[in-house]
Chains A and B, each alone.
Chain A
């Protein structure tokens, strides 16, 4: 395990913090364009921090066409001297914030605005959730994804292949997977913006329509519009800003394959098994120190794999962990306290919402789902077909 040699020696005044966060309106915004969602989230996050666009010299975002960040910058009237548009699917925003932290610590930027925006639901309709890995209409690109798309595999199908293998190796049950969705819905009940708020039971989940065995409709995230944003700067710059800064204690990311599970070495182990321990080591913490988690929940199986790979329980014990109330308030690892992608919103690449909720928790602003005294939070994104993983460890206090 190598620990980032730079973290411990960074000038404490330049240690990276998150100075502001916000979401746009969500989960349905038929009257906003994708760029307008970015703009709304940006304005609100800057206001939260007590900053304006004039203070921003760095910008980051991820989207699905080249020069994406430049496009949003043009819309916002930003001319940054640092920008980043790394796309790791659902893990993108954890990676972008990690990069932004390095940038401000290295002096390459002072204030980095990171924004996400999507109008997936209003623009594309509800069929995307079963979408083939290959994007774009007619021709299938020559990448690895074509080697399963032609056989009719789908996005949900990939996660189902992993879930079935996990059930086979460890005895995980559909009812255990369903417990993830039930807990997320309990949390969503306290989030007035959540897309789905009516309580559900394990029986509701396992009796909902099968999309790709063993995953039912209610094992799958919702499809939404929306966006979110955060402002990364130095501890020194944040000291006299409007909100209590949240410290970026450690971060790491990893990838195991691109879009075809034929190339994934073990369908029950994600890149989180690599980047989780690395991020914790960089932060100087262990899983036992984590008070609250925001874990990418594209599907219920995603959460089960993640709690195992991050070391919150042993490999194979994730099913029991989530079924025993482990993710609930008062559980071993209160998770997705806004309702997550399974209930609150999932506009496509939800990673920024994870960071937003983690920061709210550490600032004590999470309302009915506040974890009392939360000091350390994890935001963990999972992108592609379990392809990319990224862990951010955030702290209420300076390291």
Chain B
């Protein structure tokens, strides 16, 4: 698995991930979130930003089932689901990740998902998602 080359604006994201914390970058001036991380707020041009830790729940905004991989390290995972996940509490920010622990045929847009971490080695952990447990019925607390 190739290692990501981090830079000043992304290293905080990768370090949080290594500690199994999913974060999104939030502008401390106007509050806008952005992903992937970047040096300047696209909304107000401020360079001030902080990392908001997220609960890790979200909903599938769109997805694909990749059946022909590019990275050789992923060939033995085929077919796998790549999804854009709209993260709860992230101000509309979406993240491209995977939906795992699921038959690809059972993935759909709108599917609720929860975070699951995979350690790729001592230096790299990747956040992925799996279907969230079905919400309890009317008598339950809901999600």
* A residues whose Cβ falls under 8 Å from a Cβ of B: 127, 130-132, 138-142, 144, 146-157, 160-162, 164-165, 168, 209-215, 260-263, 267
Contacts and interface: CB of A to CB of B under 8 A. Distances in A.
A164 B126 contact: no
B4 A152 contact: no
Given A146-B4, A148-B96, A209 B82 contact: no
Contacts of B4: 140, 142, 146, 150
A132 to B, nearest CB: 4
B2 interface: yes
Interface in B31-51: 34-36, 38
A260 B2 CA distance: 18
B5 A161 contact: no
A277 to B, nearest CB: 23
B62 A161 contact: yes
Most chain B CB within 10 A, of A140, A153, A165, A211, is at: A153
Contacts of A156: 66, 68
Contact of A132 (B5, B10, B70, B98): B70
B82 A141 contact: no
Contacts of A155: 70
Given A131-B70, A150-B126, A152-B80, A160 B5 contact: no
Given A140-B5, A164-B109, A151 B128 contact: yes
Ranked nearest first, the 6 interchain pairs of A and B with the lowest CB-CB distance are A160-B64, A148-B96, A147-B36, A165-B62, A213-B65, A142-B7
Interface in B79-108: 80, 82-84, 93-98, 104
Contacts of A168: 62, 109
Question: For chain B, which range describes its interface: under 10, 10 to 19, 20 to 34, or 35 or more residues?
Answer: 35 or more
B70 to A, nearest CB: 4
Contacts of B117: none
Give the interface SS of chain A, mostly helix, strand, loop or mixed: mixed
Contacts of B77: 152
Contacts of A160: 64
B135 interface: no
Given A152-B74, A154-B66, A212-B68, A139 B96 contact: no
Interface string B2-14: 1111110010000
Contacts of B68: 130, 154, 156, 211-212
Contact of B96 (A138, A209, A262): A262
Given A139-B5, A151-B97, A162-B62, A209 B35 contact: no
A127 B3 CA distance: 22
A161 B94 contact: no
27 contacts: A139-B3, A141-B5, A142-B6, A147-B35, A148-B96, A149-B70, A150-B126, A152-B82, A153-B66, A153-B96, A154-B66, A154-B68, A154-B82, A156-B66, A162-B62, A164-B62, A164-B109, A165-B61, A210-B65, A213-B64, A260-B36, A261-B84, A262-B93, A262-B95, A263-B34, A263-B36, A267-B62
Given A165-B109, A262-B94, A263-B36, A152 B62 contact: no
A165 B4 CA distance: 28
Contact of A154 (B7, B38, B70): B70
